Amino acid sequence: MHIAEGFLPPAHAIAWSVASAPFVVQGVRSLTREVREHPESTLLLGASGAFTFVLSALKIPSVTGSCSHPTGTGLGAILFRPPIMAVLGTITLLFQALLLAHGGLTTLGANVFSLAVVGPWAGYGTYRLLKRYEVPLMVAVFCGAFVADLSTYCVTSVQLALAFPDPGTGFLGALAKFGSIFAVTQIPLAVSEGLLTVLVMRLLKQSSKGELVRLGVLSKRKQQQSATEVGTGAGA
Amino acid sequence: MSRNAKINTLLLLAVAALAVLPLALGLGDHKKEPFTGSDAQAENAVTELDPEYEPWFSPLYEPPSGEVESALFALQAAVGAGVLAYYFGLRRGRRQGEERAAARATARGEARAEAHDAQGGSGRSEAEES
């Protein structure tokens, strides 16, 4: 769940907007480049945005007795790298802020920073790290999506704690408070998001193998080896 | 059911279980208002921490009722699900089309090769194929 409209003091709202802006600008650039160079990827880009749209519309009950929704940013970050996800996440947040009174325009910067910047980067980083250690693809995808989801709400908790430190215990006291509201609620939802992202990735593996190879999710080498058993393509 | 479809179904069941269990186990029973949104709880926490804080901006448009709001959320999910379904449907159709075209091409190739054998192997059909 995003920070509601007007619930960050003006100075914080402006600071987070300034922090997010360069990432969104960079994202728009990568997105236009991707569409220009690979027009065929437009469909998959749309599908990644759609995944975020679906997941962030589903408010799901959690173990804490409250509801929250997943983010769906892990998939796009793994497929197209985080900058592009900054744009797709911002579009989703704008839609919710303008039509659903969910999140807000004054808190858009802060929400973009957590959902569309930190989440995708943290998830993508986790995914790449696990892949480097040759963890099976689907395990890496699950962990990437899980981290993207959970880190988003950890950042939200930090943002609110910075703006509203506890009078007695200060920043850390407030962080514990907001963390128990956002982050703990989010843990089972992050697991759900991980499972759903794995599901979509499995469907993509069946339907769009060529594109996954081009995007570097599936390695060309492995495919050739399994197809021919001849290791001549190892250098490619 | 194929192994693939089984795994996919299990994944969906696990997600459904994660969503339903908190409700079934009554994990919200200790609260005055069970299963409210975490954003509303954060708003309450803000007012607790800083009772004087007043939100300084309100949404430009607010759905007039819970029903309208849930309709808009459903719309958002439906749009997303529609695009995803379009993508996977299109891919599946294209793949099947390609497979069919490939099957037809090999069938034609075989037929031609048979004709070629019957002719006793003139160079003409080979040139045609290339």
What was the ipTM of the complex prediction? Answer: 0.86
The residue among B32 and A67 whose pLDDT is bigger is: A67
Burial of A46 (0-12, 13-18, 19+ CB in 10 A): middle
Mean of per-residue pLDDT scores for chain A: 91
Query: Rounded to two decimals, what is the model's pTM?
Result: 0.87
User: In this complex, is the C-beta atom of A152 within 8 Å of any C-beta atom belonging to chain B?
Assistant: no
- Averaged pLDDT, A204-229: 77
pLDDT band at A221 (very low <50, low <70, confident <90, very high): low
CA distance B52 to chain A (A): 11
Q: How many CB atoms lie within 10 A of CB A40?
A: 10
pLDDT digits (tens, 9 = 90+) for B36-80: 888 888 888 898 888 888 888 888 888 888 899 899 999 999 999
pLDDT at B39: 86
pLDDT at B78: 95
Indicate if the pLDDT at residue A233 is higher than 90.
no
Q: Where are the domains of chain A?
A: 10-235
User: In this complex, is the C-beta atom of A233 within 8 Å of any C-beta atom belonging to chain B?
Assistant: no
Contacts (Cβ under 8 Å, ≥6 apart) of B72: A99, A100, B63
- Averaged pLDDT, A226-236: 46
Place of tokens 């007012």: B47
pLDDT digits (tens, 9 = 90+) for A70-108: 999 999 999 999 999 999 999 999 999 998 889 999 999
Q: Which of residues 11-70 of A touch B (CB under 8 A)?
A: 43-44, 46-47, 49-68
CB pairs under 8 A between A and B: 187
Q: Residue A83 and residue A26: Cα distance in Å, rounded?
A: 6
pLDDT band at A232 (very low <50, low <70, confident <90, very high): very low
Contacts of B84 in chain A (CB under 8 A): 47, 50-51, 54, 200
Class of domain A10-235: mainly alpha
pLDDT digits (tens, 9 = 90+) for A99-122: 888 999 999 999 999 999 999 999
> Which of A5, A51, A67 shows the shortest C-beta gap to B55?
A5
Instruction: Report CB contact under 8 Å: A65, B42.
Output: no
